[in-house]
Structure 1
Amino acid sequence: MPNLRSDAWYAGEDRNAYIHRSWMRRGVPNSAFEGRPQIAVANTASDLTPCNSHLNEVAQSVKNGVYEAGGIPLELPVVSLGETNVRPTAMLWRNMAAMATEEMLRANPIDGVVLLGGCDKTIPSLLMAAASVDLPAVVVPGGPMLTGTFRGVPLGCGTDVWRLSEEVRAGTLSQEDFLLSESATIRSRGHCNTMGTASTMGLVAEALGTVIPGTAGTPAPDSRLLAAAHHTGSLAVQLVAEGRRPSDFLTRASFHNAIVALAAIGGSTNAVVHLLAIAGRLGIDLTLDDFDRIGSRVPLLVDLAPAGRFLMEDLHRAGGLLAVLKQVEDLLDPSALTVTGKPLVEYLGAAAIWDEQVIRPRPTPLLDEGGIAVLRGNLAPSGAVIKPAAASAHLLKHRGRAVVFDSIEDFHARVDDPELEIDATSVMVLRGCGPKGYPGMPEVSNMPLPKKLLEAGVRDVVRICDGRMSGTAYGTVVLHVAPESAAGGPLSLVRNGDWIELDVARRTLTLDVPTEELATRRHSPEAAAGYAAPGRGWEKLYVEHVMQADTGADLDFLIGSSGDQVARESH
């Protein structure tokens, strides 16, 4: 075993070593301080993060594996963000969770870390922290829940909430039946069972190389997840012994493969923001254009909600991520390593599809091009994204008149107004929902349609927003518009009735207003009145330092790695 970082706390006979050891002697043997790697188990379990509430059990399996391999496991509770509960949006605290975890990993006597996450922001924040502190690290995704059913029909949590609630507003489903479905939606422990952000980030973390291959996507109640957690704990000790850190295997090639995986699985648009932020912590120059260049024309092979029919339990039984990647192996960068020290492609040899309805073979994809498309134009000079797989094909090229909402409150107040001038050809525009404006870039871009359109049978129109949308959502939604309106972006110049043109094939988003006229327009004072203006605390720090969506919406002073060294030791 090489010199351990924790020796700076525990080795020696001086007063400081005495203090550090004595306070940690709560039933551990002397050998705990004699050259045994100290492995933190960074645990995002919380009763207020229901998707992660089972991670204490997973943590115990990790700790068993650490101890079996000769290490000392140390559970470290870290900031947990529950997507369904935290207001105004969990994204507001992703950077805080990453910063807090980074600081705790650096400040404590640990040599390596196992990262336990599940719900949407937990895995991204943990990876951002690990990339910044660069201690030996490996991820265990908490896994999706099992499929629930209502009256014999499988329910995709998130996706079917949006769908059923729209049917209530349309008058095709009773409020009573809608509420009856509530108890059937969440069948077991685990995160969303659709290809939402949680599922996407677990799978993408494996494609990046930070998860033991074959683990991501294992359902949360599946005993094989505990076995994988045990194995991961043992691997963490090995990582310390071999000195293998995230910077050794997280390379540009890793992000190439993550983008290919994101497209092939039909993953959440939120992964774009998270991958950009993780890359920024590593000093890797990843851009929006890389997502389009690498992933936009990758075939969509996974038939999962919200873009398809099946759910995460089906993907696991059908062969999982490795079976998907086997089909697009020629598009992967073979040089990308995993946390095990072996290339990702080495794990694809025996990967087979066991249900070709769930995972399509390469010759018969669900869509020929399933990746995220990046749009540019005078309405999004720094870029915007759209998920064609979740959109309506007939709207991917569209020209319509803008119906503008200056804030999410303005939207809720007017969307069902019978006098609202809107029809099926209109383009709904919502601003004030970007990183600075809201703050935190909430998941509101997939605006519910006006009731009068729903009653007329309309189920999709083009929607444009500087916020995000849930990975479980669907529709022809252009989101992450940058710069956002609160940062002076042209979204703030749009007026009701302006013509907007969307052409996904040409990758353009255009406000059809002469440049000369735009130059004379004022930024919307109504929108500005709703922008966040916090006077204290985290929100103030966030608004003052958050960057735009096209660079990952991280804080400007957190870009790059700071390493594992503590600036000043205790005395």
Structure 2
Amino acid sequence: MSFVKAAWPRALRSQEWFGGTGKNAIMHRSWMKNQGLPADTFDGRPIIGICNTWSELTPCNAHLRDIAERVKRGVYEAGGFPVEFPVFSCGESTLRPTAMMFRNLAAMDAEESIRANPIDGVVLLAGCDKTTPSLMMGAASVDIPAIVVSGGPMLNGKWRGKDVGSGTAIWQFSEMVKSGEMTLEEFMDAEQGMARSAGSCMTMGTASTMASMAEALGMTLPGNAAIPAVDARRRVLAQMSGRRIVDMVKDDLKPSDVLTRQAFENAIRVNGAIGGSTNAVLHLLALAGRIGIDLTLDDWDRLGRDVPTILNLQPSGKHLMEEFYYAGGLPVVMRAVGDLGLLHKDALAVTGAPIWDGVKDVVNYDDDVILPPEKALTKSGGIAVLTGNLAPKGAVLKPSAASEHLMVHRGRAVVFDSIEDYHARVNDEALDIDASCIMVLKYCGPKGYPGMAEVGNMGLPAKVLKTGVKDMIRISDARMSGTAYGTVILHTAPEAADGGPLAIVETGDFIEVDVPARRLTLDLPQAEIDRRLAAWVSPVPKPVGGYAELYVSRVTQADQGADLDFLVGCRGSAVTRDSH
């Protein structure tokens, strides 16, 4: 279907502030005019907010001021008036204890800023991992016209004549240092070429995944996800998005019109096709909760199971985001998914047209980057959701980044009671561990870390790496960077700090993993599990005061997206009182 345009002009939300000759309207207009605005600025043209996550402490987003200027050009050209405003910026690379702890704070900041201010539509400028879901979550809870513009990925990393992927290379090279395959001096030298331009990670990490999810949901113009940050075409897309948001306001095209169940099903399948980050599971579950769509882990497993991973991109494959863009970008992947009969072609996009209209005529310019389905990296991509007595509410694994020989495995658990315990013992030669063991990390979930840090992809012990082993099964209630890889089982729910069965696993217990059967089993009699749970006392201290206390007391579990429980739902855009 196509979106039916409303009559124009129509009543604008901003006119509740700026319209008329009353004292309050004059007050609102006059103060805005101290910025040198003409008298007719507020004569009924749409006011467009530019919600900017620019920050020099978020290096992936440090170029967004320039992107904002390009958006403004488009807004002006279409007859709107742009106003830029900042919101909390979650920088994955620097923020402690973890950016995920602050995703919900950033979403709250975006929501309240959008609702409380006199804007008719909003352009969401995002880049680094959590900034994309946080802005979409906040905008969904207000539900005024909104469009996403991503900052784009960095240019390919370069080192000694080879392409290196930001993030992924760090995991690879650090393991090579431990195994003796690379010197520390070489690792330090490689650092200089990993991040050589503005933008986010150029692997299919969480930033690129969430840019792709925004596009697959229909919340961006076609092609948004892959254009490099420094490519002139990124600025063109920003300008065109500025034009488009004005028309969206005229049409009253809102997130609730775009973020339908069909849109989420499209995104889940596209995530499987690109080998997207497991973090997308949490973010889309949370976003669906904001807009009122009943999305579950079962949907993730069911919808992604039959989707082949056709994007040959690190960490699952070999290429980087530059090559992905030159090959045709996400529209080519979406067309392939559609040609397989796995895309809801009539799902509405922010273009005002069915999402299929933006991808049906695209061409794949490099079939070594975007593979034909018959040459897929894995025939069953997506996200595998495992359940059992170790994860009653589910745990997730990314098959495209895992090792085939470990998909069915029974191993002895080697347990680390915290990330500090892991760091203290993992490279101890006395640690009783071999390649057949299963590494288990506790108390790193939403409440336990707090914030559910990206520590689930535990590096292997040096003595195991030196034997030539490259992968082992790892299980935790933590997350994993989208740039990482390996047979890593994550998001175990309920988490250990919430009394989940993970809390009572002991070194020496045996665990059975059966990915094809979607089972994760602690090989103990139920009576012994019950005995241990009854005796369990949480070792995790509760934060006192500040946002940390609020977060831990109200955060939901991973299977619900780890949102704050009181933020779930769409509260709308109404502001009923004027303090003036």
What's the TM-score, normalizing by structure 2? 0.97
Moved over 4 A (4+): 522-525
Match of 1:23 among 28, 31, 34: 31
Corresponding residue for 2:195?
Answer: 186
CA contact (8 A) 1:194 1:305 kept: yes
- The aligned residue for residue 4 of structure 1 is 12
Q: 1:457: which partner in 2?
A: 468
Q: Distance in 1 between matches of 2:145 and 2:528?
A: 55
Matched with 1:303 is 312
Q: Take 2:24 and 2:109, find their aligned partners in 1: how far apart are those partners?
A: 25
Structure 1 counterpart SS, 2:491: strand
CA distance in 2 between partners of 1:379 and 1:567 (Å):
48
Give 1:365 deviation, angstroms.
Answer: 1.5
Give the alignment of 1:396-407 within 5 angstroms.
396-407=407-418
Letter in 1 for 2:55: S
| Deviation per residue, 1:243-262 (Å, 9 max, x gap) | 11111121000001000110
Matches of 2:64 and 2:435, distance apart in 1 = 45
The residue type equivalent to 1:387 in the other structure is K
**Within 5 Å, which residues of 2 pair with 1:159-174?**
159-174=168-183
SS of residue matched to 1:42? strand
1:506 and 2:517 matched:
yes
What is aligned with 1:109? 118
Deviations 1:382-417 (A, max 9, x none): 000000110111011100000001111111111111
> In structure 2, which of residues 39, 52, 55 is the aligned counterpart of residue 46 of structure 1?
55
Q: Is the Cα–Cα contact under 8 Å of residues 206 and 213 in structure 1 kept in the other structure?
A: yes
Distance in 1 (alpha carbons) for counterparts of 2:498 and 2:563: 15
Q: How do 1:163-562 and structure 2 match up within 5 A?
A: 163-329=172-338, 330-522=341-533, 528-529=538-539, 531-562=540-571
Gap change, CA 1:499 and 1:337, over 3 Å in 2: same
Give the TM-score normalised by the residue count of structure 1.
Answer: 0.98
Check the 8 A contact 1:545/1:555 in 2, yes or no: yes
> d(CA) in 1 for partners of 2:275 and 2:365?
19
Q: Among all aligned residue pairs of Structure 1 and Structure 2, give the percentage whose two residues are the same amino acid.
A: 57
CA distance, structure 2, for counterparts of residue 17 and residue 348 of structure 1: 45
Mapped contact 1:43–1:76 kept (Cα < 8 A): yes
Which amino acid is 1:4 matched to? L
8 Å Cα contact 2:278-2:383 kept in structure 1? yes
Look up the SS of the partner of 1:328 in the other structure. Answer: helix
Tell whether the 8 Å contact from 1:493 to 1:524 is kept in structure 2 after alignment. Answer: no
Query: Post-superposition shift, 1:569?
Result: 2.1
Q: Name the stretch that deviates more: 10-19 or 508-517.
A: 10-19
Q: Is the 8 A contact 1:398 1:501 kept in 2?
A: yes
Moved more, 333-342 or 298-307: 333-342
Deviates more, 1:415-424 or 1:544-553: 415-424
Query: How far is 1:349 from its partner?
Result: 2.0
Aligned to 2:6: none
Unaligned regions of 5+ residues in structure 1, if any?
Answer: none
Partner residue, 1:566:
575
Aligned-partner Cα distance in 1 for 2:558–2:367: 36
Shifted more, 514-523 versus 395-404: the winner is 514-523
Structure 2: which amino acid aligns with 1:420? Answer: L
In structure 1, distance between residues paired with 2:515 and 2:534: 27
Of 515-524 and 405-414, deviating more is: 515-524
* 1:216-273 per-position Cα deviation (integer Å, ceiling 9, x unaligned): 2110001001011001001111111111111112100000100011000000000000
Compute the displacement of 1:370 (Å).
1.2
SS at match of 2:374: coil
AA of the residue aligned to 1:303:
N
Q: Which amino acid aligns with 1:220?
A: A
* Distance across 1 between alignment mates of 2:185 and 2:99: 30
Residue identity matched to 1:417: D
Return the letter of the residue paired with 1:259.
I
SS in 1 for 2:193: helix
1:13 to 14, 17, 21: 21
C-alpha offsets along residues 406-451 of structure 1, whole Å, 9 cap, x if unaligned? 1111111111111111110000000100001111000000001111
**Alpha-carbon offset, residue 172 of structure 1:** 1.5
Letter in 1 for 2:210: M
Secondary structure of 1:263's partner? Answer: helix
CA distance in 2, matches of 1:524, 1:234: 61
Superposition deviation, residue 173 in structure 1: 0.8
Which amino acid counterpart does residue 258 of structure 1 have in structure 2?
A
User: Distance between the aligned counterparts of 2:121 and 2:234, measured in 1?
Assistant: 21
Q: State the 1:345 CA deviation.
A: 1.1
* Alignment-mate amino acid for residue 214 of structure 1: G
Deviations 1:325-357 (A, max 9, x none): 111101001231101111111122211111110
**Counterpart-to-counterpart distance in 1, 2:572 and 2:533:** 45
User: How far off is 1:523 after superposition?
Assistant: 6.8
Partner Cα separation in structure 1 for residue 108 and residue 534 of structure 2: 34
Q: Distance in 2 between matches of 1:512 and 1:112?
A: 54
Q: How far apart are residue 58 of structure 1 and its match?
A: 0.5
Residue 132 of structure 2 is matched in structure 1 by 123
Q: Which whole-Å CA distance do the structure 2 matches of 1:268 and 1:179 have between them?
A: 27
Q: Deviations over 1:471-502 (max 9, x none)?
A: 00001000000000111100011111111000
1:63 and 2:79 are equivalent in the alignment:
no
Q: CA RMSD in A?
A: 1.0
